[in-house]
């Protein structure tokens, strides 16, 4: 994670056990950079994290949501408004914020919102909207930096070969209602080197700016 985040003032990672880790940062801007991106993955698995408040116990934090940037496609012209974007976000999960770029320039191919998603629920593929004339239309969603997910049940954290639905119906032909089209197009990023350069080893976290806790979702072997 250190190699991905590259904190200018370094970071420390404390193993809390049970696949929970505490990430200690030494500057607020280093944390901000991590939070701004939204979702992070570690070896294809979604990193579920929580920004710890002062005196919050990392062990008692519930880790079941992830903030993800979602792209909304096919939004009809008459529907482009702050409240519609918020409704879309609340339909997917819980609307967090709208990309400032949504309101600059002209009409867009897509609109970008940040959504807090419940990682125990299937991904939302699309949403139905009713036009003024009474006819229905679909808006379609794509997700940035989506970790591995199941094309059969739409849940994050496992793939088809480990899906409970597939196991419950071994003789049935598999129906895939989800697919790679749910991934937002990405810019190719160069692979990062080892993160050692950004890691602090000292163990003295008393000077740390803030702490965060995370949990890598288990990926079956």
Pick the stretch among 15-23, 126-134, 140-148, 158-166 that binds Zn ion (CB under 5 A): 158-166
Among 152, 156, 182, 184, binds Zn ion (CB under 5 A): 152
On whether the CB atoms of residues 11 and 22 are closer than 8 A, the answer is no
**3-class DSSP assignment, residue 64:** coil
Cβ proximity to Zn ion: between 4 and 153 the closer is: 153
Is 216 near Zn ion (CB under 5 A)? no
d(CA 94, CA 65): 10
Is 153 near Zn ion (CB under 5 A)? yes
Pick the stretch among 24-32, 72-80, 159-167, 168-176 that binds Zn ion (CB under 5 A): 159-167
Is 182 near Zn ion (CB under 5 A)? no
d(CA 190, CA 14): 27
User: What does the block give as tokens for 114?
Assistant: 């940040």
Q: Is the dihedral of CA 71, 74, 77, 82 positive or negative?
A: negative
Rounded least distance, CB 83 to Zn ion, Å: 34
Pick the stretch among 81-89, 162-170, 185-193, 203-211 that binds Zn ion (CB under 5 A): 162-170
Q: List Cβ neighbours of 155 (8 Å cut-off, separation of 6 or more).
A: 120, 121, 122, 123, 149
Pick the stretch among 7-15, 41-49, 151-159, 192-200 that binds Zn ion (CB under 5 A): 151-159
Is 150 near Zn ion (CB under 5 A)? yes
| CA geometry: angle 20, 22, 23, nearest 5 deg | 130
Is 72 near Zn ion (CB under 5 A)? no
* Positions that interact with Zn ion (CB under 5 A): 150, 152-153, 163
């Amino acid at each position: 994670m250190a190699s991905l985040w590259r904190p200018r003032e370094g970071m420390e990672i404390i193993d809390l056990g049970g696949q929970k880790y505490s990430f200690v940062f030494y500057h607020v801007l280093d944390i901000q950079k991590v939070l701004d991106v939204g979702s992070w993955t570690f070896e294809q698995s979604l990193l579920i994290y929580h920004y710890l408040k002062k005196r919050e116990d990392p062990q008692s934090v519930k880790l079941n949501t992830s903030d993800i940037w979602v792209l909304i496609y096919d939004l009809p012209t008459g529907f482009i408004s702050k409240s519609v974007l918020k409704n879309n976000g609340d339909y997917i999960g819980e609307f967090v914020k709208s990309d400032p770029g949504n309101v600059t320039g002209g009409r867009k191919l897509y609109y970008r919102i940040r959504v807090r998603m419940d990682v125990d629920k299937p991904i939302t593929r699309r949403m139905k909207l009713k036009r003024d004339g009474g006819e229905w239309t679909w808006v379609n969603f794509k997700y940035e930096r989506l970790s591995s997910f199941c094309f059969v049940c739409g849940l994050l954290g496992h793939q088809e070969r480990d899906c409970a639905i597939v196991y419950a119906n071994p003789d049935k032909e598999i129906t895939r209602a989800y697919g790679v089209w749910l991934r937002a197009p990405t810019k190719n990023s160069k692979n990062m080197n080892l993160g050692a350069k950004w890691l602090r080893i000292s163990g003295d976290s008393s000077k740390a700016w803030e702490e965060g806790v995370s949990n890598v979702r288990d990926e079956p072997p």
